[in-house]
Amino acid sequence: MPELIVRKTATACEEIFHEYGPAPDRPLRRAAALAVVENPFAGRYEPDIQPFMDDLRPLGLTMARRLVDMLGGPGEIEGYGKGALIGEAGELEHGALWHAPGGYAMREAIGGTRAIVPSSKKVAGVGARLDVPIAHVNAAYVRSHFDSMELGLADAPRRHEMLLALVMTTGARVHSRSGGLEAWEIKGEDGLR
């Protein structure tokens, strides 16, 4: 397989104190790690693309560990999500290669999470923004943790690139009060409740 070529990496971290309601004791923090990589399949139809998932695995782990560090350790992480922007010479399917290396890297870095990692992906031009969905790490139905983070870089993804993203959060929306399954009620066994 071709060498993984990383042009650029970036991180974003938001600390949300309030949204003009009562400020919680601990602000909500959201962090994202981004990597701009060369798309080895850009410009042609390549039937066999799965080996590239293995090439992405170390990058995924580096990004996931970086996020855990930024947010203060595995015990702090309550929500996660992932996403990909594929430059226009690529194909939506190339973005799907990020599911396994991105998702399993976060599970490993946080330590055996149960819930599916919500995701978004699209083919887009330079400067595009991606809304990465976020949900609770152990129970997908926890309503307070449904959130998203908008990401993007002014100079990516170029035609032959992919922008890969991982996102983690430390808790519920800052003024969560829409009911549903609460984080303290979950069993955390089946990844749903």
Partner 1 sequence: MSANIRKIAIFVEETHREAGQRIDPPTRKAVAAAVIENPFAGAYVEDLSPLMDIGAELGGLLGEKCVAALGITAGEAESYGKAAMVGENGELEHAAAILHPKLGAPLRKAVEKGAALVSSSKKMGSPGQVLDVPLGHKDAAYVRSHFDGVEIRLNDAPRAGEILVAVAVTDSGRPLPRVGGLQAGQIKGEDGLR
Binding site for partner 1 (CB under 8 A): 5-20, 129, 150, 153-154
Distances (CA, A) of 31 to 14, 55, 149, 184: 6, 24, 9, 23
Q: How far is the CB of 150 from partner 1 (least distance, A)?
A: 4
Per the DSSP assignment, residues forming a β-bridge with 149 are 132
Q: How far is the CB of 142 from partner 1 (least distance, A)?
A: 22
| Residues contacting residue 127 through CB under 8 Å, at least 6 positions apart | 152, 153, 154, 155, 156
Nearer to partner 1, 33 or 139 (CB): 33
Taking the CA atoms of 34, 39, 45 and 48 in sequence, report the sign of the dihedral they define: negative
Nearer to partner 1, 31 or 106 (CB): 31
Q: How far is the CB of 75 from partner 1 (least distance, A)?
A: 21
Q: How far is the CB of 174 from partner 1 (least distance, A)?
A: 9
| Residues contacting residue 60 through CB under 8 Å, at least 6 positions apart | 98, 101, 102, 104, 105, 106, 164, 166
| Residues contacting residue 100 through CB under 8 Å, at least 6 positions apart | 53
Q: How far is the CB of 48 from partner 1 (least distance, A)?
A: 26
The Cα 45–Cα 175 span in angstroms is: 47
Nearer to partner 1, 99 or 175 (CB): 175
Nearer to partner 1, 103 or 158 (CB): 158
Q: How far out from the chain centre does Cα 139 lie?
A: 17
Nearer to partner 1, 32 or 186 (CB): 32
